[in-house]
Amino acid sequence: MTIAGQESLNRATWSKVSAQRDLLRGAEFTDPGERAALEHVVTHVRGRPILDLGVGMGRTVPILRPLASEYRGVDFLRSMVEASLRAYPDASIAVGDARSLAEYPAAHFAMVVFSYNGVDAVSASDRRLVFRAVRRVLAPRGVFFFSTLNIDGPSFRERPWKIRVWSPRSVLGYGRQALRQLVGAPLDLVNWMKIRRGGDRGPGFAVAPLSAHHYGVLAHYTSLDRQRQELDEEGFAADPVVFDNARGARVGAGSDTRDVDWFHIVATRT
């Protein structure tokens, strides 16, 4: 599958009513790691301009807008932007492309956010375009707060025939999640078989099916070492601050990340 094919597939999946309904079910924070990362930067960015990429159905609007002197939201799907504006009609949210951001001024934002592994929706090469565009619009010492899937973690190893229950709060919750996966398994398998050959693989990264939306998305997975290298090469400071998704614990160089599904990264513009 070409880069254009990956983008077309992901756009089609996220345009479905069912996928957008799933996004609406999200809690205030996706996980403890996202909360910990935001708490790490909140003092630095409070009262300053914030750009929110991949705003989706508007989950991050009430989290970020109260912090900002100027809040701008962006999504590449018009239906997502329209949904966000229905929920927050006085917010500044527009259709845009994170790979360009040409309509936004250089060196302006104290923080750019790309939450919920949004940057992983683009190809390995286009990912570099996102980093360059973000760096251009960030003020000196501004921060890029984003999450990205871990190639060494359990999400990359998921398959349609394996049941995986996410943090059940009770035996009943475990049963509901397991039953939901069993019911959805035939569709999961069909979609996985359909898109798995459209991926890509290189040193420290892979583009592969993601279990979300019944394996309806091809996502980019990266090792933490490769992610650090990419950020360094694109003009961000060395040693970004990294949190794991499940516990909100700091992750350092050399850490065992095999149980980390994705990272929350706070990278500083040099």
pLDDT (tens digit per residue) in 103-130:
999 999 999 999 999 999 998 899 999 9
Q: What is the predicted pLDDT for the residue at 177?
A: 65
Query: What number is the average pLDDT over the span 73-81?
Result: 95
What residue segments make up the domains of the chain, in order of their start?
A: 3-150+220-268
Q: Residues near 147 by Cβ (< 8 Å), separated by ≥ 6?
A: 30, 33, 34, 114, 115, 116, 117, 118, 119, 245, 262, 263, 264, 265
pLDDT, tens digit, for every residue of 170-212?
666 656 766 676 667 788 888 888 898 888 999 999 999 998 8
Look at residue 151 and tell me whether its pLDDT is greater than 90.
yes
**Amino acid occupying residue 12:** A
For domain 3-150+220-268, give the CATH superfamily. Answer: Vaccinia Virus protein VP39 (3.40.50.150)
**CA dihedral sign, ordered 242, 243, 249, 251:** negative
Count Cβ neighbours within 10 Å for each residue of 143-164 and write b for 16 or more, e otherwise: bbbbbbbbbbbebbebebeeee
pLDDT at 14: 47
The model carries a pTM of: 0.87
Looking at every residue in the chain, the average pLDDT score rounds to: 89
